Structure 1
């Protein structure tokens, strides 16, 4: 298999025909200028060193050298051998709480940012597993459909904020149901969910949703973010904190980690519960459990190695330029004086 590492440079090959057209136009103009001086044979005797073929040879070698140089810069590569690769992977769905309570700062710099940083580290640990992201507050939305494109996963992760779900609340059950809809149950591989939340569920029965997931062989793990003491919820306007959320009596709202709810969900979902802190996100423990799941083996054939071949084209370009340099644009008078096939008259 042949490929080019820098295909954009191949567009420069279009300049080669332009070179030939320009050279032909200049040659045609020179011939007309010489013809205007007088009789062709007389002018030829006046300029015995002028050659009509050598400039074309010189230019042809130069143009071909340019073409080889461009191809070399594009770096042609050849797949040296193929290898059958067996990859094993599981399906993993991240359910991330983006309610306003996740702005609380009992985890630095906030619960949400701490969780996003932990997810990014988890993505770096993945190899063949597929990952998807669901965000939820009062409602749940698929932020990233399940995929093996880890670069896309990180890109979508960076865009997550509490502003992306207009309805406030913590609908963990709806998030679990949406995560279940995102799985492909026909592929037979292991499946798991990781819920990252402070556990303040006010919208639905998350425990029943976790039980339903477990009944379909999907394990539900929970990472609790926050502290038992809790923290006030900042009010953010135009990217700046302008105060804290208050209740109807004017008292600051303190958001606390609801560990009982988190434990109930993980227990119903057949998973583990881990409490995150500033030193440990807890996802390492969860991934240890997920790595024990059944993974489907996928047989794929791909090129193992690609070897650069640019040096051959650069070498050819150098030789062509060397030959072009030593070709004179004028006739060699000594060689022209040799008449090998001329019959001398006695």
Structure 2
């Protein structure tokens, strides 16, 4: 059992206080009887008094108060199964975690800016199922398709370039993982739009992704791309773990400083072939507002009903018992004509 308004339970202290007051008053009456009245006179003055009725009234009053306070506290007992219908789209976000995403041509960095914009995207979701894929040379389903946006944010927060075994980028692996995730959905709302949003700087060091992209298109999955970075090119800073102090810049096997730049033509090509659109973030004040506007135009479908268990309100029973006992208190007399002599 849980209580919806547990603060009302503090009112229960009034019941023992009232019992103590009733006991004190009864003791005063007995003392007055001994001091000022004889037994015969006291019986005459209280002619027709019904001790059992009086006791029943007191018990009913106390019980009525107890159940009334309990009803105000809102008891919830057991479970209640409710049915919820949701409408939205199915979307997977594939986030590039290659080393080049640490470049700072977009502040604070390409990766941090991408995560910030994904959080903005999550804030706009209303009944849409969304999941998260992280990829470099390999791809992992960081968060399966879900309506639990809080959990999705937790998975997004821990996404980091250091968590991946490879620092290169392979779009094919991200597309294959996305296709598996879409096919694994237990509930398949065929009328709902299916969207894969790839967020990357566009540098591709992997195998040809044409076959994987065609497989997505055949499953009516639209592929959108979001480029993060500038075409001017920049270095990839390296920071001391723990202190955050800049210790140098990423170098290749020959010891030369690596430069990275946004490759919009690759991302644009993916979006065109994937029946989607390409967007870009090249400055710190850029965002994914254009993609958010496009989301509102996508066809939304009704997902299969979801059931969840919840505690069931039982205050009405407490209120009914309170009313019953208070009615007894009012209707039962303390004096009975049958006791008159």
Check whether TM > 0.5.
yes
- Preserved contact between residue 234 and residue 245 of structure 1 (Cα < 8 Å): yes
Three-state SS of the structure 2 residue aligned to 1:240 is coil
Identify the residue that residue 285 of structure 2 maps to in structure 1.
279
Q: Judging changes above 3 Å, is the alpha-carbon distance between structure 1 residues 56 and 225 closer, same or farther for their aligned structure 2 residues? A: same
RMSD over equivalenced CA pairs, Å: 4.8
Q: Quote the offset at 1:161 in angstroms.
A: 1.9
Q: Judging changes above 3 Å, is the alpha-carbon distance between structure 1 residues 124 and 339 closer, same or farther for their aligned structure 2 residues? A: closer
State the structure with bigger RCO (CA 8 A, min sep 6), 1 or 2: 2
Identify the residue that residue 119 of structure 1 maps to in structure 2.
118
Q: Quote the offset at 1:310 in angstroms.
A: 7.5
Q: Quote the offset at 1:228 in angstroms.
A: 1.3
Q: Quote the offset at 1:340 in angstroms.
A: 5.2
Matches of 1:102 and 1:301, distance apart in 2:
38
Paired residues, number: 300
Matches of 2:5 and 2:165, distance apart in 1:
44
Indicate yes or no: 2:170 matched with 1:171. yes
Matches of 1:109 and 1:224, distance apart in 2:
16
Q: Quote the offset at 1:179 in angstroms.
A: 0.5
Identify the residue that residue 139 of structure 2 maps to in structure 1.
140
Q: Which stretch of structure 1 is more off in the superposition, 308-317 or 208-217?
A: 308-317
Write the mapping of 1:231-310 to structure 2, written as runs, cut at 5 A: 231-236=234-239, 237-238=241-242, 240-243=244-247, 244-276=249-281, 277-281=283-287, 283-297=288-302
Three-state SS of the structure 1 residue aligned to 2:277 is strand
Identify the residue that residue 98 of structure 2 maps to in structure 1.
99
The gaps in structure 2 that reach 5 residues or longer are 24-38, 77-81, 308-312
Identify the residue that residue 230 of structure 1 maps to in structure 2.
233
Matches of 2:210 and 2:306, distance apart in 1:
43
The gaps in structure 1 that reach 5 residues or longer are 28-43, 77-81, 303-307, 327-331
Deviation by residue 1:87-109 (Cα, 9 ceiling, x = unmatched) = 54221110011122212111111
Q: Quote the offset at 1:68 in angstroms.
A: 2.1
Q: Which stretch of structure 1 is more off in the superposition, 159-168 or 289-298?
A: 289-298
- Preserved contact between residue 210 and residue 266 of structure 1 (Cα < 8 Å): no
Q: Quote the offset at 1:312 in angstroms.
A: 11
> TM-score, normalising length from structure 1?
0.68
Matches of 2:278 and 2:172, distance apart in 1:
16
Q: Which stretch of structure 1 is more off in the superposition, 201-210 or 216-225?
A: 201-210
